[in-house]
Amino acid sequence: MPSGDYLWRVNDHAKSIRDIRRHSRLDAEAYDEFSKMMTPMCRFVKPMLSMVPPDPTTLNPKDLKQLHFLLQRFRELSSDERYTLVQLMTMSSADFLDQWFETDVLKATMSASGIIGTFLGIRSPGTAYVLLHHYMGEIDGAFRSWGFSRGGTGAISNAIAGAAREAGVEIRTKAPVGKILTKNGRACGVALQSGEELSANVVSSSVDPHLTFEKFLEPSELPADFLEGVRRYKFRGSSGKVNLALDALPNFKSLPGPGAHLRGAISISPSMEYMERAYDDAKYGRYSRRPYIDMVIPSVTDPSVAPPGKHVLSCFVQYAPYKLAEGTWDDQKKLLATTSSTPSPSMHPTSKTSLSAARSSPRSTSSANLASRRAIFSGRAFPRTTLLPSSRRRLGLLPHTHPQPIYVRLCHAPRRRHHGRQRPHRQPGHP
Ligand SMILES: Cc1cc2nc3c(=O)[nH]c(=O)nc-3n(C[C@H](O)[C@H](O)[C@H](O)COP(=O)(O)OP(=O)(O)OC[C@H]3O[C@@H](n4cnc5c(N)ncnc54)[C@H](O)[C@@H]3O)c2cc1C
């Protein structure tokens, strides 16, 4: 924080509450209630993510059955839970959190979950749902959990590849696909850019829908309305990754020296205003001059990913729009790497040797790996696109840009809207 303080949340709930209490007694109390409230919200929404959203305007028995299932579950929620659910589906993460907490830095760091991988700001409606979306991540049933894969992220791909090879799969790399071949309206293989053709009964594509349907297939091979749906599929990469090679561990002024804080995620999100201003840059096609950064040092938990005594610092940086208003990422990525390693001397005072080494290291700049056009969610995570059906049934799961209003009639609001306490006095500039 600019004051030299910090806010530390850990996976021990009681410890997190103790640290929040240093900033606000009211927030420590509300944090407990907030965590309890988010669990039923996750339980309600999570099964819906793997469903084809039912069409509320149809009399198709399958859709009606699904609608009944959803309504039944909605009715099982308490009135407080229903009220919160509607808020999560309609509000911005900043507005949603404003109702619960008063500490700016707590709201800022929590609201970051509402924008990760999303081309929206913390004050944009819809981001409260994205916040919930990130709560749904789990490890072994524990919501809101993240982990490192031993050997780095590539170890996961290698494990999948190893299992596939063991099952008899032949994997070919450096063999870009040029076209998907079709016969009688069915995919029957692929043509590589080298000209080689491979036939297959099933073609499964993990590249984005634009490449798959617009580049690999001829427009005449697809129904016109389906193709139109693909063209309107929202796809805006908003974030980037900057990987730094460090000579030594970072040393933070607020928590000097090594410690448990270096084993988790370190978030540079000092205030709500800072977060929204980061988005202001992106709106006009620039990467954030003062970005939101979520950094991890995987070499602390897994020394195998760096040479002995050295470290890697992986920064998730937002915003880094795929389409820049000026210049190209080839000439801007070095600047993004520099910006990300020094957001502000007062709040990111790492050991000078480690970061200067990182900045001058060719590895640090050449590894600034920018999000491609593909967004983290391979599309847009948004209440409407995630949970509502598309306007035309033939488009199936593809989200659309047609503005469908959601009519919500609230008969009554639950009594305990501010957790049984007076709404705390807001800081100037806050709603
Ligand atoms: C900035 C950023 C940060 C992220 N952070 C995390 C995180 O912390 N944790 C997490 O779990 N997930 C994270 N993700 C999401 C994660 O990276 C994706 O979910 C995952 O990579 C998707 O894997 P995939 O195989 O479906 O697609 P991709 O990884 O996109 O793989 C598609 C592959 O197809 C290849 N390809 C493209 N064109 C052709 C062609 N013509 N022929 C053949 N091959 C082609 C591409 O080169 C690519 O290798 C992040 C994503 C981004 C952008």
Which is nearest to 177 in space by CA: 157, 161, 198? 198
Which is nearest to 319 in space by CA: 234, 238, 237? 238
In the predicted structure, residue 66 carries a pLDDT above the cut 80: yes
Which is nearest to 250 in space by CA: 308, 304, 311? 311
Give the residue, 429 or 126, on which the prediction is more confident. 126
Residues 387 and 361 in one domain: no
Residues 243 and 362 in one domain: yes
Host domain of residue 389: 13-136+376-395
Ligand 1 centre and the CA of 213: distance in Å? 18
| Residue labelled with tokens 């996961």 | 156
Three-state secondary structure call for residue 2: coil
List ligand 1's pocket residues with C-beta within 6 A: 176-177, 206-207, 239-241, 316, 371, 374, 376
Q: Of 197, 231, 265, which residue constitutes the final position of a domain?
A: 231
Q: What is the pTM of this model?
A: 0.82
In the predicted structure, residue 42 carries a pLDDT above the cut 80: yes
Phi, psi angle pair for 192, to nearest 5°: -75, 160
Give the residue, by CA position, lying nearest to ligand 1 atom 44.
176
Residues 281 and 339 in one domain: yes
In the predicted structure, residue 371 carries a pLDDT above the cut 50: no
* Residue-wise pLDDT tens digits, 321-356: 988 999 888 888 888 888 777 645 444 444 444 444
Between CA 153 and CA 155 the distance in angstroms is: 5
In the predicted structure, residue 402 carries a pLDDT above the cut 50: no
Domain presence at residue 21: yes
Tokens of 51: 């469903």
Phi, psi angle pair for 218, to nearest 5°: -80, 145
Determine whether 109 is exposed, middle or buried from the number of CB atoms within 10 Å of its CB (0-12, 13-18, 19+): buried
Between CA 28 and CA 203 the distance in angstroms is: 52
Domain presence at residue 93: yes
Between CA 193 and CA 138 the distance in angstroms is: 39
pLDDT at residue 415 in the model: 38
Residues 390 and 322 in one domain: no
Mean pLDDT of 195-201: 96
Q: Are 213 and 230 in contact (CB under 8 A)?
A: yes
* Residue-wise pLDDT tens digits, 176-192: 999 999 999 899 999 99
Domain presence at residue 81: yes
Residues 175 and 295 in one domain: no
Give the residue, by CA position, lying nearest to ligand 1 atom 4.
376
pLDDT at residue 291 in the model: 95
Residues 48 and 70 in one domain: yes
Of 171, 197, 198, 207, the one to substitute when testing ligand 1's pocket (max ligand atoms within 8 A of C-beta) is: 207
pLDDT at residue 301 in the model: 94
Domain presence at residue 145: no
Residues recorded for the chain: 431
* Residue-wise pLDDT tens digits, 18-31: 999 999 999 999 99
Between CA 56 and CA 82 the distance in angstroms is: 19
